[in-house]
């Protein structure tokens, strides 16, 4: 081996130092494709610089990639400790310097801090914050000092970094790892298993001493893939029935991204020379922006379609959308023209754009159901049941798992309803038994439609598919959660809390604020399902589904505010509501439905959590329901 070859070998070894073997093998194969060492070395330098940039390093630093899940608990404690030390160091410089120091630190680790409005930032600069604005600023600081806030964000960042590096090295395609890299698939599947184990070991107990695991509760709602799929198909079919009844036509549209968002070609798997480093999240942002412009244009033209949207990946993870839309037949041409115009605005003159960027199929009901056009995409994105293989020949169950991993990794919403009435009242009505109160006969008719899984009938009774959410007959009932204890700490001294001891800053504590919440004087409030003829006795567990799936609460606090008669103390007590762990948002929970001012509580029980260890020992209050926001 010559001196030049020895120096070149040392250079390559140095550039590949810290890179896992799975990526090192790919880089070596990529290196060997070049005929000259100079070209290969330049490509290696550019590739390792790109990897460093993905990891948040400067281009001059050596790359060190960890494809295994690091100790996120330890790393989150480290970052929280660093932020707490910053608070101590900047304590004398004021709140503004502390906030910007924490924000810069969070941003430097490729995580976005909780956003503040321009008004709050301007008031922070001018030192004229209101109490509410002050709590928002302190919320950002407290999040930075909280390991529980850092941990899920570090895990999500790690998964996306690994996926982005795999995409950079062209390891995600139908010829290698379809939809998502094998590393990320195994990592997220392990997360799912750990989450399932946690649910199985966590018990929820209500005031009647009835206990059930969170895993059983999870299996009763849309967290269960079978229930999620069934509900989606019911809603899609209901829209089709409604459209048929009112003489609307259906179109099936497909939107995809420009060539620069695609990593490689589907047929050969070769790298796409137009790719500019875009991630699937960039592609999803492009589709969202384009669809927002389309909807704005359609609204100006008084065109209001309704239906469903499905997001799914190409073989290399680049997203595309399928839309099943219903609208009057005379508006179809204008809708298609609008979609074509906006889908081709960006790079619309590139080769193949007109053929691939946007596709439309006019659905003929005589040839098949509109629901059938989208059914396979719903199944493909959930469990793969009912189809054998995907478009690329991958076994359906495997493809469905990898698509769910893809959506979980990038935070992409797979299914979305466009227009129509809300689904939350539908789910709450299905909790109720038959309503026998004569004054609520019209509510019973809607409840019966929901109970019969007749989404078309439910939509019509709720005011029609074009009825605005605020004008619908039944809406969700949300209540602010009250403090458990009467010994509250007033927020009048909120500003002084920042100047407290350093220990208090290092371990931020929350203080409650008094917020007057006005409730409707004319609304009739039902504290359960067994009043005024609404059947269901919680003491006998007659309706197992309503009892078990009634909801989970973290303490025994009273949720529905009561009007005080003459006592000022009672009025002060009823106006004190619980905050999140960072003190900047009121905790709101779903309690039932509101039907023209008549409140019906469908979640009748208050639940507490306890953690069951492997040895059978129960630890109360081990789990915290107030997830980090």
Q: Give the residue among 264, 256, 260 at the shortest CA–CA distance from 276.
A: 260
Q: Give the residue among 252, 247, 215, 341 at the shortest CA–CA distance from 290.
A: 341
Are 262 and 269 in contact by the 8 Å Cβ rule? The answer is no
Q: Give the residue among 325, 427, 417, 415 at the shortest CA–CA distance from 378.
A: 415
**For this structure, is 377 an active site residue?**
yes
Question: Distance of CA 83 to CAs 80, 106, 158, 210, 395, Å?
Answer: 5, 9, 20, 42, 47
Task: Measure the CA–CA gap between 103 and 114, rounded to whole angstroms.
Answer: 9
Cα 531 to its chain centre, rounded Å, is 37
DSSP character at residue 489: P
Coil, helix or strand at residue 310: strand
Task: Measure the CA–CA gap between 159 and 155, rounded to whole angstroms.
Answer: 6
- Say which of 210, 373, 392, 611 is annotated catalytic: 373
Are 510 and 581 in contact by the 8 Å Cβ rule? The answer is yes
Are 553 and 607 in contact by the 8 Å Cβ rule? The answer is yes
Strand partners, 307: 325, 418
**For this structure, is 134 an active site residue?**
no
| Helices (H), ranges, 527-601 | 544-548, 568-574
Are 326 and 307 in contact by the 8 Å Cβ rule? The answer is yes
Question: Distance of CA 224 to CAs 211, 399, 427, 430, Å?
Answer: 20, 18, 14, 17
Beta carbons within 10 angstroms of residue 270's beta carbon: 11
Task: Measure the CA–CA gap between 379 and 386, rounded to whole angstroms.
Answer: 7
Task: Measure the CA–CA gap between 526 and 549, rounded to whole angstroms.
Answer: 18
Are 343 and 450 in contact by the 8 Å Cβ rule? The answer is no
- Say which of 377, 498, 577, 582 is annotated catalytic: 377
Residue corresponding to tokens 């960072």 = 582
Q: Under the phi-then-psi rule, with left for phi > 0, alpha for psi from -120 to 50, and beta for the rest, what region is 386?
A: left
Are 305 and 335 in contact by the 8 Å Cβ rule? The answer is yes
Angle between helices 118-125 and 131-144 (to 10 degrees): 90
Task: Measure the CA–CA gap between 221 and 231, rounded to whole angstroms.
Answer: 10
The helix (H) or strand (E) run that includes residue 54 is: helix 37-54
Q: Which residues are catalytic?
A: 373, 377
């Amino acid at each position: 081996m010559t001196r030049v070859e020895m120096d070149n070998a040392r250079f390559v070894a140095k550039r590949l130092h810290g890179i896992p073997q799975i990526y090192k093998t790919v880089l070596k194969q990529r290196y060997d494709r070049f005929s000259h060492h100079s070209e290969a070395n330049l490509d290696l330098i550019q590739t390792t610089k790109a990897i460093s940039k993905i990891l948040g390093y400067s281009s001059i630093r050596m790359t060190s990639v960890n494809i295994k899940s690091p100790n996120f608990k330890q790393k989150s404690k480290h970052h929280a400790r660093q932020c707490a030390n910053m608070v101590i160091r900047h304590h004398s410089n004021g709140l503004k310097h502390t906030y910007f120091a924490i924000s810069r630190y969070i941003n430097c680790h490729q995580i976005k801090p909780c956003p503040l409005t321009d008004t709050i930032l301007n008031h922070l600069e001018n030192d004229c914050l209101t109490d509410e604005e002050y709590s928002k600023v302190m919320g950002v600081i407290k999040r930075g000092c909280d390991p529980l806030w850092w941990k899920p964000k570090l895990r999500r960042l790690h998964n996306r970094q690994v996926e982005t590096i795999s995409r950079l090295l062209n390891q995600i395609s139908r010829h290698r790892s379809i939809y998502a890299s094998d590393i990320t698939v195994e990592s997220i599947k392990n997360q799912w298993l750990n989450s399932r184990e946690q649910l199985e070991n966590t018990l929820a107990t209500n005031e009647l001493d009835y206990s059930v695991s969170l895993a059983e509760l999870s299996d009763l709602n849309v967290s269960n893939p079978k229930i999620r799929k069934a509900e989606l198909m019911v809603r899609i079919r209901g829209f089709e029935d409604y459209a048929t009844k009112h003489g609307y036509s259906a179109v099936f549209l497909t939107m995809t991204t420009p060539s620069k968002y695609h990593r490689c070609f589907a047929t050969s798997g070769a790298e796409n020379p137009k790719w500019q480093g875009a991630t699937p999240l960039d592609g999803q942002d492009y589709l969202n922006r384009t669809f927002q412009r389309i909807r704005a244009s359609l609204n100006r033209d008084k065109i209001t379609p309704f239906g469903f949207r499905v997001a799914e990946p190409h073989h290399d993870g680049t997203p595309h959308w399928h839309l099943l839309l219903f609208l009057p037949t005379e508006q179809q041409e204008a809708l298609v023209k609008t979609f074509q115009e906006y889908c081709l605005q960006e790079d619309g003159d590139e080769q193949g754009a007109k053929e691939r960027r946007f596709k439309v199929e006019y659905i003929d009901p005589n040839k098949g159901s509109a629901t059938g056009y989208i059914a396979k995409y719903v199944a493909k994105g959930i469990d793969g049941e009912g189809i054998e293989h995907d478009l690329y020949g991958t076994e359906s169950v495997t493809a469905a798992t990898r698509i769910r991993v893809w959506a979980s990794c990038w935070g992409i919403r797979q299914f979305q309803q466009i227009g129509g009435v809300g689904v939350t009242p539908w789910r709450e009505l299905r909790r109720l038994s038959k309503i026998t109160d004569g004054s609520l006969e019209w509510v019973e008719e809607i409840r019966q439609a929901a109970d019969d899984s007749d989404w078309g009938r439910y939509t019509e009774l709720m005011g029609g598919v074009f009825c605005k959410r605020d004008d619908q007959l039944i809406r969700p009932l949300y209540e602010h959660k009250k403090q458990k204890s009467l010994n509250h700490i007033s927020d009048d001294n909120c500003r002084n809390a920042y100047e407290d001891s350093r220990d208090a800053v290092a371990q931020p504590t929350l203080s409650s604020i008094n917020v007057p919440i006005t409730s409707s004087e004319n609304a009739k409030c039902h504290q359960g399902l067994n009043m005024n003829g609404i059947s269901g006795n919680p003491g006998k567990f007659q309706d197992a589904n309503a009892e078990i799936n009634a909801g989970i609460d973290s303490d025994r606090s009273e949720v529905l505010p009561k009007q005080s008669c003459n006592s000022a103390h009672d009025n002060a007590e009823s106006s004190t509501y619980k905050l999140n762990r960072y003190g900047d948002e009121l905790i709101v929970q779903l309690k039932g439905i509101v039907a023209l001012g008549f409140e019906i509580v469908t979640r009748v029980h208050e639940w507490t959590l306890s953690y069951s260890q492997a040895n059978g020992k129960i630890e109360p209050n081990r789990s915290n329901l107030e997830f980090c926001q």
